[in-house]
Amino acid sequence: MAALGNRGTVTEASGFNPEEDAQKIYNAMKGAGTNEATIIEILAHRTIAQRQKIKEAFKQSVGKELLDCLKSELTGNFEMIVVGLMMPAPVYDAYELKNAIKGAGTEEACLIDILASRSKAEIKEIIATYKKEHGKSLEDDVCGDTSGMFQRVLVSLLTAGRDESTKVDEAQAVQDAKDIYEAGEAHWGTDEVKFLTVLCVRNRNHLLRVFQEYQKISGRDIEDSIKREMSGCLEDAFLAIVKCMKNKPAFFAERLYKSMKGLGTTDSVLIRIMVARAEIDMLDIKAEFLKMYGKTLHSFIKGDTSGDYRKILLELCGGEK
């Protein structure tokens, strides 16, 4: 019942008693009104694995699905977070992808956030879960909702074919950097397939070498070139891949910052990252956030949200530092 990673703010609760937790949650919901504080106190301090045990215990003792009860009792962003917390990681990712695709318009940011940042094993699990939960192929759904080069990048990421070894082929790295340079900066018009071949297939260590070589050849950071050469969702997708390769917690820190700065909050992004990374690398995301923006993630969330939604986010954020 351990956490998914070892750099999370949510860790395994000691002396865990799922039956007791289930009873407390039931009591918090029965009768008029809901005691949200109890729900926050329990669910924000249990791992995903522990929450599954609470779900089982609740169903046994109450004869109802906990998720259904929570949905009928809670509303708004607070409900969205709690519902997310109750799902195993691949189920949550599949659920988010489904929501991003269905209905009018697509939330491309969600497709990019998830597919550019998950490992090969995680993507395979998401694909299998999507099929099981939604009865459809994720690739078919993605293809039905996207087009052009952006679609091709997503399809490539969905093959989960990235090399995950650590070896760097020096000669190949130099060649890759040249290929990308010649496909973009060096001539009029951009051959995006070359970017796709390198960015979606090579392993992380190799790509870091490619980025160094690219800087030497072009005098620019690869991110700058992508911004100059591309636009829209394709630009966002390639940038996300590059940023995740360089420093994944920094990628999420930037996404969180952008979700809150300026007018209004992009709650879907804030919720997705806080739920999905809470027991994986939230400590690193917080450290990167402070380093990049000179303010704590905690203070940003506090200033940008309110009510029970704010309370549960701050618990997942874990402390002011």
pLDDT score at 31:
77
Burial profile 267-291: b = 16 or more Cβ within 10 angstroms, e = fewer:
bbbbbbbbbbbbbbbbbbbbbbbbe
Q: Give me the residue label for tokens 């249990």.
A: 46
At the top level of CATH, the class of 1-74 is mainly alpha
Instruction: Specify the length of the chain in residues.
Output: 321
Read off the pTM: 0.94
Residue 316 class from Cβ within 10 Å (0-12 exposed, 13-18 middle, 19+ buried)? buried
For the domain bounded by 89-159, which CATH number is listed? Answer: 1.10.220.10
Residues 259 and 301 sit within 8 Å (Cβ to Cβ): no
pLDDT score at 103:
66
pLDDT score at 32:
75
Query: Looking at this protein, which amino acid is placed at residue 311?
Result: K
d(CA 174, CA 85): 44
Same fold, 1-74 and 248-317: yes
Q: Where are the domains of the chain?
A: 1-74, 89-159, 170-246, 248-317
d(CA 191, CA 74): 49
**What pLDDT tens digit does each residue of the chain (321 aa) get?**
777 888 999 999 999 999 999 999 999 998 777 899 999 999 999 999 999 999 999 999 999 999 999 999 999 999 999 999 999 999 999 999 999 998 666 789 999 999 999 999 999 999 999 999 999 999 999 999 999 999 999 999 999 999 999 999 999 999 999 999 999 877 666 788 999 999 999 999 999 999 999 999 999 999 999 999 999 999 999 999 999 999 999 999 999 999 998 777 899 999 999 999 999 999 999 999 999 999 999 999 999 999 999 999 999 999 887
What fold, for 248-317?
Annexin V; domain 1 (1.10.220)
Q: Give me the residue label for tokens 């990308």.
A: 180
What fold, for 170-246?
Annexin V; domain 1 (1.10.220)
